Structures are given as structure tokens and as C-alpha cells.
Structure 1
Amino acid sequence: MKYQPFLLRCLLLALLIGFLASCNQSKKQKFSVEDVPDPKKSGGGYVSNPDHLISDATVTELNEKLSTLDNAGKAQVAVVILRSIGDNETRDFAHKLFNYWKIGDKEKNNGLLILMVEDARKLEFETGYGLEADMPDIICFRIQQEYMIPRIKEHNYDAAFTDGVKSVASLFDNGNYAYDMLPDLPGADASLMATDSETVATDEIPPPVTAGDAIDVAPQSFASTEEATSSASNDYTGDFSFMAIIFWLFISAAMMHVFFGKKAKRRKENADEEPLAVTAVPNEFLRPRWIGLIIIHAIAFYTIFYLITKRHMDVGFLKVCLIYYLVWLVFMHVAVLLIMLRTAVMLKNDDRHLKWLRLEVLRRDLRIAGYIFPLPYLWLYIMWLKNRLNHLRNDVYDCPQCAQAMHKLDEAEDDTYLEKGQVVEEKLDSVDYDVWRCDTCNTQTVLNYTNMRSALADCPSCKHKTYKCKKTVTKQRATTSSEGWGIKEYVCAFCAYAHDYQFVIPKISESSSSSSSGSSSSSSSSSSWGGGSSGGGGASSSW
């Protein structure tokens, strides 16, 4: 009887294993080509990697290379990497998937499907009718065996598909799939050529090469081949990610705006303009703007140009991002040095309170940069700036009347010495007030410390930072032929003063509308394959 619980547990475990196995088996039996995610319908790529057997960086790199091959009209290649296809036969599955997606141009039939199924340990190439001459079955098999299967056996799927796609691209670009062995062709030897009017004398014919002579000649032959291969590698010019450049053009402009603010607009006197919110107040110590962007892009472009032309490197998306990050890192450290020099000069004659107000704007903008570039110098400067602001605000003041030390009242006590509008400002978190009182002569000093991240503005009526936009109404929408306009309704939370400010909506440019329609048509054309069909050619390899 004492074994009964143990036997019951074993029985339940066996039933559970059987249930899971049956579920897995039923799942395998139902797997079909419709279950394979089509990359064209999820971003317009060429790689389907639903089980994440290769890294995202490799997927990006493969998409770039295959896009170049497709845009050149040479071949449209689909790469599919699956953990399992159930109990389907891999060769038949590849043929069905090829025709289901219709890979390749409809007229050229230049499609190629590269399919790997991990649990079946199979690698399949399926070619379209138009590729059977340029890429016969034997070439498909050699690419698999020489460049992909050895890496797959090492479970290095990233290298396997990177090398395999490079080999396919080299076949269509250079006529040779062995991309890593492409020496320059040696020039024709003039001594071996003769015209129709010339005859070669018998005594000029070189004697037969003996075995001993062959041993002496062989090293020279290998040396010349090695020199030719080295020359070919030196002539290679790397490629770079154009999309990464575009990405960093936008990111750099955004970071320049966030870190240093924009130039303050000159406001006309007596003009009915929208009030300036506290968050829009720019720092006054350094605003590189377009000059800074030009410097950053120039250094990054030069570095990329050097790597692809002098170092013969491919600079993909991640490398471009790394280059830009390092350039920005150096730029921010140089900017901080300039800011330190300028603040020392510009704040020389200011009192403690004014220094705090001007430096707090700087800390507001650089605080985010400290998180993005958390390396010692910038981070230490931000920590020093925070400590400096703390001393400027909290160090004891001397009484202006009797020169005795004053003490700061707490938040509960200082409201007694504040005006009603100032109390409202504190409740709205637009301004925090410190009240210092002298115990000797009962003198009070009230100092305002503005919250530089507040969206409130100064009220034109009561002058308190309690003025806020309550509603934005579009009265007339902009078109390609005319501007639009609307109003922003501002209300003061203290004195209830209200006013409407009119704003202009710029015209919609025809170029932007046409480009948006063009981009949509481009994305729609790339959201499907070309309409090709399989010729049944290709190769299979196992590991």
C-alpha cells in the first residue's frame, strides 16, 4: 500500500507526457506553408525568422544584401529559418512555399528560396526557372557544403546564412560563388603570343620542365596567387547602411534640440503672441544648432568613408550607430568644456539666486544627456552641477539689515509670508518659494525658484506663472493651396484672466503629399513577391 502514491504519480506523469506528445504531434501534422510568416507582409524584408534562430542584426544585414540583389534585377532571394515544419518533407515543403509566395520576378522567374529546418537537420535550395542556367543544382550544392553546412554543424547559424548569402551574391555579381577566393586575373604573357606572320623559332622553345624544376617554380606560383588575392582584397570597397544614415540625421536633430534647446524667437512689442512657457526657455550658454550638426555629420561621414575605402570594411546598421554614438559622445564632452568656460565668465557678477535660475535651465537640458552618455566626464559634470545648485539654494544667507545668519522656513511656515498668487504657483508646481527670516531683526527674504520643466507661462494680467493653455481649436484646416488657422485658449488659474491666441497652420506642400503617396505605393509594391514560380531545381543537404 505504501507504493500506491508513488505508482499513482508515475501514472499521472505518463499520462501528462502522452498528452503533451499528442498535442505536439497534432501540431506537427497541421503545419503548412500558410503558417510561415511572410516577411513581405511584415516590413517588406526577405528573411523569415519566426523562431529567432538568427540574431536581429544578421536579419538586418541579410535584408540589406538581398535588397541590393533584388533591386539590381539579378535575383529575388527568400531566406526561411524554421525550427520545425511538423512531419512535412522538407523538399516538397520548399517547393510548395516557393510557389505559394511566388518568389522571383514574374517575367524573369529569378527566384531563390533558402530554407533551413532545424529539427529535420535539412538545408534546401529551391530555384526558379530563370536561375537554372546561372545557378545549376551542382552550384547550389557546393554553396551549401562549402559555406553553410560547416557553420550549421557548429550551431553558428548567423555565420552560415551570412556566408551563404555572400556566396549567392558573389555568383551573380562576379560569376563565381567562391567570394573569398577571387584573385585578379593575370595579364596575358606577350612571349606566348604570336601573329599570323610570325613563327616561333625552334631554339626559342623552352625545354620541358623536369620534376626538379617544378619544385623551384611552385613557390613562385603560390606567391603570385597570394599576391593577386591580396591585391583583390585591397581593391575592395566596403558597403554602408544608407538607412542608418537617414536614421541618425533625424535622431541627431532631435538630440540637438533636446540637449541645447532652440534659438529664442524675438518677440514684438505689443504683439498678440502666444506666451512663452517655462519649458521653452532656452539655455543661454551654448546652442550649437546647425553648426553642431554639420560638425557631427562631417566627422561621422569621414569615419565611414575611411572604413569602407581604406580599411575595406562593410559598415552596417549597427556599426553606423556605434560611429555616431562615439562622435556624439566626444561632441558632448567638448560642449561641456565650453559650457564650463562660458558659465564662469557669464555668471561672474550675478548673485546666488540669479545664478541658480540660469544654471537650472542648463541642468534641465543636460540631465537627459547624462543618461544617454553615462561616461565619467559628462556624468561627473552633471553631478557637480546638481551639487552646485544645491549650495546656491540652501547655503545660509546673511541678513541684509544686521548681517546675522538667517534660517529658512519649512513649507508649512513659509506660506504665511507668501502672496495668494505665489501660493497658487506652488500648488501648480510652477514655482517653489523659499522664505529666509532673520531671528534678530525679523527681516524676511522671499526667493522664487522656477520649475524649469513646467508648461505654465506668465499671466499678462497678474504676472504669476499660472497661465495655461486649456484648449486648442482648429478653425480652418490647411490644404495644398492655402494655410489653415486655429486658436489656443489660455486661462489664468489665479486671476481667471482668459485670452485667445490665433496661430497659423502651414500649407501642405505638394511634394510631401506626393512623396507620401509614392512611399505608400513603394511599400505596397514591396509588400509582396514578384510573381515567379519554381522550376524544381536546387539542392538538399543534411547535417
Structure 2
Amino acid sequence: MIGKHSADFNTKYHNSETAGRRFAAKKRSDRLSARQFFGFFVYLRRMKRIMLTLTAITAVIITALAAYTPRDIPNVHLADRTRYVSNPDGVLSPAAETRLDSLLAGVWRSTSAEVTVVAVDSIEGDDIDSFATELFSLWGIGKKDNDNGLLILIARAQRRAVLRTGYGLEGPLPDAICGRIIRNDMAPHFRNGDYDGGTIAAVASVADRLGAPDVADEIRSRYPNDSRTPRHDEDYSGLIDWLATMAAVMTAIALAIYLWRSHSTRRMPTLQRYQSLKQTRVPLLCLSALGVGVPLIVIWLLNRKMKRVRDHARNCPNCGKPMEKLPEDKDNDYLTPAQDTEERINSVDYDVWLCRACGETDIIPYVNDRSAYTVCPRCNARACQLTADRIVVQPTVAREGQGVKVYTCRNCGFQNNRPYRIQRRQPPVVIIPPGGGSGFGSGGGFSGGSFGGGMTGGGGASGGW
């Protein structure tokens, strides 16, 4: 009986001890879970701050990278003379661009004033006035004789716009008028995100003021659009004097070369002297180009001299009697078949001199350097011409190609195959236009233009919205 009670006591003791351990373990687990939850909450808060900081830094970096310097702004008018709106970030819609280009083209045609619009997301720095002045000077907006240029700059991120005038437009568009255009035409639209409407309204106001008859006559330039050369009333006397001096100097040099070559070759054999005089043509042609064509008269003298050398009377080397130069229709009787072929295809012209006293002949060849015929390796006649050009192995980017040119002799019929190598193909080059999608487009097939080299003194106004 006592043993049974003792066993029950031990069992209850062990059960209560086990329950105590379980309760203590559960309390420790609950404390650990609470600590873990609190730690995880603190971790999330820290990560949130880190992510916000990284996001802010990334936004600053992206904004800095997207900000334009004056040299980054694409000058679309250089690529296409019908475009006057640089809109690399799409601040303006394509329809607004088309409308603005039409308005600005009308201003250019009617007044010759050069007005251009630049709309970007962001510019580098906060001084939009200095930015506009630098961009104006960089592009040279306006004609250089009266500086009739106007730049309308819009920076969306800075929420500011500038009208920068050239010296010649400070009268028609004084600072007060420019400020009024920004306040009344641009700012109300821009506050509502309507950049199309505000820009078109501003350009329309500018066009109305510059299009007035008295203003248009005042600002009209002597220079044509898209050119830095004046249209009329230019003094060309200096240019004419310079050209006349060049012509005289080049002619004198050409004449000196001709006289020196004529004198230095007088003791040469006929053929050698003729070839030496012939080589003088190249430098005389160069001098003629520099001398506005006037030294060509020296080339005329040279050609007459070369003809006299060919036709100069000579004596027979055998009997000493005078020789006779046979006409073209009779000299073929004294030529070989190969020589006759050369004369017929005009690769060589032969002069045949005949001594009537002893029958001696002197045949002098004059090669036609402008002929495409080459010397045949079999019969030595200058009668080989290119008859086929075949590509045996096509070139690739990795290896050269091979080709064969086939030359056929017009005299003996011999075919000469001349292999040649073909250079490897160049890998394709991909050109990515700078400044975004509308930076330097092809302009619909129109050729590029240019501004006229105008200057600004910083006139105009700036404002925000």
C-alpha cells in the first residue's frame, strides 16, 4: 500500500515538473517571438529609409543625366532647313511641332528674322537666362548684318521660359513685350500642362509683331535664309583683285616652266623630246586651276610645240636625203599587223617617215595614255582589253574574297586571266542620333540649313509659371 502511494506521488511530481518546464519554455518562446517581431519591424523601418534615400539619389542622378547643356541641345535646323523647333524630350506634341514650324517658316520668309523654339525637360544649372544666351550665341541665331534672331526656350522641370532677342530685335521686341508674352500667352497654358497651346500662342504673338510692314522692312536682312552670304550689294572688288593676281602669277609660272622645258629638251631625240614635253601638261593643268583657267593659254602653246616636234623635217639616217612623213591613209602599208591593230583601236599612233631616195623608213610610236588597252604578254601589241570580271569567292566580314579579270588581245586573241583579292567587307555601322527621338531626323528628305551668325546682348525676358 505504501509502495503504491509512493509511485503515485512520483508520477504526479514528474508530471508537474514537465508541465513547469513546458510553461517556462513557452514563456521564453513568447518573449523570443516578441523580440523577433520588434526587431523585424525596426529592420523594415530602416530598409524603408534606405530605399527612400536610394530612390532620391537615383532621381537626382537621372535628373542630372537628363539635364541639357547648351551643346547637348540638338540643332534640328542643321539637319533639315524646314524645321525650327528642337523638341528632344517630346514636351510638345508632333501636331504642335508641325504648326510651329509652319508659323516660324512664314516669319523667316516674310521678314528674314530667324526665330527658333527649344523645349526640353530640364537644363543644367538654375540660371536659365545665361543658358539661353549661351545657346543663342552657340547657334548664331539671326543674320549677321542686323542680328534679327529670337530664341524661345522652355524648361519644363525648372518651370521657366525665356525669350532671348538678338540686337536687331530689341526694338520690335523690347524686354517689356517679351515679359508680357511670357505672362499672358505662355504661363496660363503652362500652369495647366498645355505646353502646345502656350508655345503656339507665344509664337503667334511674335509673328504678329514682326510681320507688321514697318517692322518687317526694318529687320529684313540682305542675307538669304540658310546662308551666311549676302544676297546683294556685296563688294567683290577685293576678290576680283585677288583672282586677277593669282591668274597673273600662275600664268607667269606656267610660261616659265614651258620655256624652260622647251629649251632643255631641244637636243633630245624626237620621241624622247615629245614625251618630255607631254609630261609638262600635268603641272600646267594644276597651275591653270589655281590661275582661274588663264594659264590654259600656255597649254595651247605646249600642244602647238608638241605638234611641231612630231612634224619637224628630218633627214634619212641612211643616205642623208630629206624624209617624208606619210599621211594616215598610206602609212598602214609599212606597219606590221600588230601595229595596224594598235592604230585601228587608237592605243598607239604611228608616224611613218619614208626616204624616197633609198626606201629607208623610220616608224615612231606615240602611245595614247588615255587608252584602256594594255600590252599583250604573247604578241606584245598594246591591244589587250578587259572583257570579263568574275568574282570567284565572295568576301565576308571574316575573310577576303577572290576575283579574276579576263583580258583578251584584239590582235592575237590571247586570253590572260589576272587574279586579284577583294577586301573584306566592313561590319555594318549603326548610327544612333543624339538628343532623343526628334533630335536629328532626316527631315523628310529636305536638305539641312544654317543660322546666319547673329549675336545677342542678352535682351528679352524670362519668367515662370
Classify the TM-score, shorter chain. Answer: 0.3 to 0.5
Higher relative contact order (CA 8 A, sep 6+): 2
What is the TM-score of this pair, normalised by structure 2? 0.46
What is the TM-score of this pair, normalised by structure 1? 0.40
Larger C-alpha radius of gyration, 1 or 2? Answer: 2
